[in-house]
């Protein structure tokens, strides 16, 4: 009867974990979509303002050409009226560029956080699996400690492993170099 209770407990834990993972994935997808939509909207606004400014830049260029062709002493090149008209758009453009930069940094940080959460979840899953194996005497304490230590190293060296993975994905290093670096980090 005791083994049945242990199996029943493990099944309940797995069910609870699956439910929590599903909720977290749903929330993460919603947040990523929202951030990406906001970034796209900011880029559209930036492009609209840039297009509006093109006619003002063209007018400045036309005035400059006229000035150079008809250059007389004492005549100055004046575009203050155009620049005054452009000022609100230029200010808005600068603000949008800053917002875009901040949004891109936020998305990047969210991606890093998501990857760390995944690494933490993998560690937690490995620990639960090892705990279950210990409960039903499938592995020894020594095996448990060894395997848990490897999982902990992966989590502790998350940032290094992430950078090595990015190097590989960008074709900066080969598969062999990737494997060697990972082995060295976890070694």
Q: Could you give the number of structural domains in the chain?
A: 1
Q: What is the mean pLDDT of each run of 10 residues along the chain (187 residues)?
A: 54 59 56 84 91 90 84 79 93 94 93 92 95 93 93 91 92 94 89
In a domain, 172, yes or no: no
In a domain, 183, yes or no: no
In a domain, 109, yes or no: yes
Q: Which helix (H) or strand (E) holds 82?
A: helix 80-135
- Structural domain including 113 reads 15-156
In a domain, 25, yes or no: yes
Classify the C-alpha dihedral 168-160-162-22 as positive or negative.
positive
In a domain, 181, yes or no: no
C-alpha dihedral over 163, 167, 169, 171, to 10 degrees? Answer: 180
Q: Is 0.75 surpassed by the pTM of this model?
A: no
Of 25, 19, 14, nearest in space to 117 by CA: 25
């Amino acid at each position: 009867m005791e083994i049945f209770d242990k199996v029943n407990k493990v099944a309940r834990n797995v069910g609870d974990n699956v439910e929590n993972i599903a909720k977290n994935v749903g929330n993460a997808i919603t947040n990523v979509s929202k951030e990406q939509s906001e970034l796209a909207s900011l880029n559209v606004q930036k492009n609209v303002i840039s297009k509006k400014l093109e006619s003002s830049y063209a007018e400045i260029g036309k005035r400059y050409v006229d000035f150079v062709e008809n250059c007389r002493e004492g005549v100055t090149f004046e575009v203050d009226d155009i620049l005054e008209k452009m000022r609100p758009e230029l200010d808005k453009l600068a603000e949008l560029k800053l917002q875009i930069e901040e949004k891109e940094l936020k998305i990047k940080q969210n991606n890093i956080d998501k990857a760390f959460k995944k690494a933490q979840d993998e560690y937690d899953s490995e620990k639960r699996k090892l705990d279950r194996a210990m409960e039903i005497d499938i592995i020894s304490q020594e095996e448990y400690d060894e395997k848990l230590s490897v999982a902990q190293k992966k989590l502790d060296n998350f940032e290094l492993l992430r950078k090595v993975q990015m190097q590989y994905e960008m074709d900066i290093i080969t598969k062999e170099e990737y494997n060697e670096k990972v082995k060295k980090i976890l070694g």
